[in-house]
Chain A
Amino acid sequence: MSSENLTFTIQGDSEGYITFECPFCGSEFKLQADDFQNEDEPFDEIFCPYCGLAKNKNEFLSSDVIEKAQALAYNYMVEEINKTFNKMKRSFNSSKSIIKMEFKPLKKVTTKELKDKDTTEVEFTCDCCERRVKVLYCVGKSKIFCPYCGVDL
């Protein structure tokens, strides 16, 4: 079975931050797109800045991102099915054929552009790895963990 890679972009807020969601506590936080995609310092896991628990970075994708990925995959599937059935229809409906075929193409779902808005979160920089995170200030610095190295800020 062949595999297909679908790519899409997410527009960060005015400072280039993207929203992520913790799979353990469900809270949202923002990470710098530059830090997250930095190929010089790769990482597999993220620590939630609120509860401090770690999981694979893909598990932290927000529900909007997952929804968009699913919609793109669905649209790709629809496109392929419609293409195949159109081809089949053409071969069935040739002048020599005694069987005729009709089919109603599947409709694609609409996908929205992902754009992060500026919110009330405050930027913190980790003393240990110098990477940045945006979290709600009311949490207090004693309760925030660095998403990359896990130490408390």
Chain B
Amino acid sequence: MNRVELRKLSLEFRRISSNFLNSVDDNADVNLSRFLKFINENELIKSFIEQKISGVEYDFKECFGFGVNGWASFNPPEDESCHIKALYDYLMFIHNDNNVNVERQAMRYCWSNRKINVIIQNFIDMAFKPLIDFINDQLSMEMIVLDEEDKTNGSNTFIQNIETVNGSANQQINGTINTYNTFENVEGILNTIDKLFMSLSEIKSICSDDKDDVKDDLEVVQEQLKLQSPKKKRLSKALEGIKRFVKEFSMELGVSLATTAINVTDWNFLIQQVEQFIEKL
């Protein structure tokens, strides 16, 4: 399983677990069945549980002590494997027995709260949260292992960021060298925006509303570039506006060459620079 699949599985498992933990009277049985089905049908999760409980001899009724008077008490075992086995077996017991449901099981324990939904949630938390935590931790550990493997496998890859190359960049080392030309010239972009701002007021053939719209977009770009962590979405949205403006008024911007030192090339240069900046975020 690769990291993406593991991330998806982790999210899916946490969603189903959360639904189960947030169950109320109406959906507790369905959520329990869905949770059990999910952990039984997923090979990786099933293997976590099987590895943990294989060879463990423990009766779940020792953990969830069923008294003769109908009341039950919770006595978790010291050994974690026994605890996990008890939780899994109890889950199967509630699911497989036709006369058993979550609400009935929850009502066998003593609770300080009288609300049925709170009792059900407290019961699920007490009885099955350790199993959810165990699976969650195992999934996280798998991710840590994958990350480490990626680091080891990718240790021969070097990424070199070069802003300006005068002559040729040459470096001898074992492994693969990936060279990217980066444009971290935020100052340059900001200067271009300042020039474009000044040139806009000189262009008479474009109506003021359209000029105001593009000014707003330029301001957003300016503002985001000055931030420590610029927002990709805001930059992309502003860039779309600028692109639209350049496409629509390319003729007018070309004519403005005569009056200002700015032309369409400057606009295209800005678009290109901002696009590259966004790609790196």
Contacts and interface: CB of A to CB of B under 8 A. Distances in A.
Interface of A: 24, 45, 47, 51-56, 123, 125, 130, 132, 140, 142-143, 145, 150-152
B165 to A, nearest CB: 30
B229 A125 contact: yes
B144 A142 contact: yes
B229 A132 contact: yes
Contact of A151 (B11, B22, B140, B232): B11
B34 interface: no
B147 interface: yes
Contacts of A143: 140, 144
A55 B18 contact: yes
Contacts of B226: none
A55 B14 contact: no
A97 B217 CA distance: 74
B17 interface: yes
Contact of A142 (B14, B125, B136, B147): B147
Interface string B104-136: 000000000000000000000100010011001
A152 B144 CA distance: 12
Contacts of A45: 18
A143 B133 CA distance: 13
B144 A54 contact: no
Nearest to B129: A24
Given A142-B143, A142-B144, A143-B140, A53 B21 contact: yes
Contact of B14 (A56, A132, A150): A150
B133 A51 contact: yes
Contacts of B7: 151-152
B231 A130 contact: yes
B11 A150 contact: yes
Nearest to B140: A143
Given A24-B129, A152-B143, A54 B233 contact: no
A140 B10 CA distance: 17
Interface in B199-236: 229, 231-233
Given A52-B14, A54-B14, 19 more contacts: A24-B21, A45-B18, A47-B18, A51-B136, A52-B136, A53-B14, A53-B17, A53-B21, A54-B15, A55-B21, A123-B229, A130-B231, A140-B144, A142-B144, A143-B140, A150-B11, A150-B14, A150-B15, A151-B7
B39 to A, nearest CB: 15
Contacts of B143: 142, 152
B10 A152 contact: yes
Contacts of B21: 24, 53, 55
The 7 closest A-B pairs by CB, nearest first: A54-B18, A52-B14, A53-B18, A142-B144, A142-B143, A150-B11, A143-B140
Nearest to A129: B233
A47 B144 CA distance: 20
Nearest to A45: B18
Contacts of B129: 24
A142 B143 CA distance: 7
A75 B187 CA distance: 54
Contacts of B18: 45, 47, 53-55
B38 to A, nearest CB: 15
